[in-house]
Amino acid sequence: MRMIAFSVLLLFIASCAPQSAVTADSQLFVSDLVFEPAELDMGSVREGEKAIGYLRIRNAGHSMEQITEMRTSCGCSVAEPEDRVLMPGGFTRVRITIDTFAKQDRVRKWVELVDGKGRRSRAILYLKVLPNPHLDASARSIFDGQCAACHFDPASGKRQGAAIYRAVCSMCHGENAGGAYAPALRGHRDKDTLGALIAHGTGSRHMPGFARSEGGPLEPAQIRALADWLAGLDDQPR
């Protein structure tokens, strides 16, 4: 009897103990509103054209759910659901539009919803951007319009090289400058050369000058801080 009572006590204590952080976090980030499919191939499109695709959001739960917010990985992507309140088993269609200006090759984006309980669901988007020679004479810049939300605005107030890099460089050159859509920047130790490239660009719309004098977001002190950080990357662990 004592053993049974002890076992019951342990069971009671376990049931009253707080859930682990992993379980709590997983509940926060998994909504009953789910994307179908969870990954969408949006095909190929020429640079500068709009890539358009459609996802479905289904309410897989047993109660009414509301989409309170739609988020995308960057300002060039827009997600528009037809309905925001879904009954159990109900679904709605989401139109995805991606501005492909200044993008190259294979591109990966995401779209995310937030429900009324603060839980999230996410879908991954893929597309291939093909060259478009008609854009060579375009006066448009990645610092204009919706693109500014990723390539211009986040630099404001940043003073440390790493913070500046994360704000306006990492989405193209990858985490820790390891390369992504744009080449890796590790292995370049000449601060003057790096600073000149950052300030004045390469002459391509894909890498314009980021200096204020060139229409970009960075002050001279920010360019120096970024160049110093990049030049010292190989002395830091990956």
Degrees (nearest 5) of the Cα angle 73, 141, 94?
Answer: 30
Q: What local confidence, expressed as pLDDT, does residue 1 receive?
A: 43
pLDDT of res. 224: 96
CATH architecture of 145-235: Orthogonal Bundle (1.10)
Residue listed under structure tokens 């379980």: 23
Query: How far is the C-alpha of 159 from the C-alpha of 150, rounded, in Å?
Result: 17
What local confidence, expressed as pLDDT, does residue 21 receive?
34
pTM flag (> 0.85): no
Torsion of CA 107, 195, 161, 204, to 10 degrees: -20
State the 10-residue block means of pLDDT for the chain, 238 residues long.
Answer: 39 35 50 97 95 97 97 91 98 96 90 96 96 84 81 91 92 83 84 93 88 94 94 73
How much is the pLDDT for 8?
35
| Calpha distance 83→108 (Å, rounded) | 26
Q: What residue segments make up the domains of the chain, in order of their start?
A: 29-132, 145-235
- Superfamily of structural domain 29-132: Immunoglobulins (2.60.40.10)
Residues 32, 59: contact at Cβ < 8 Å? yes
Longest dimension (CA), the chain: 87
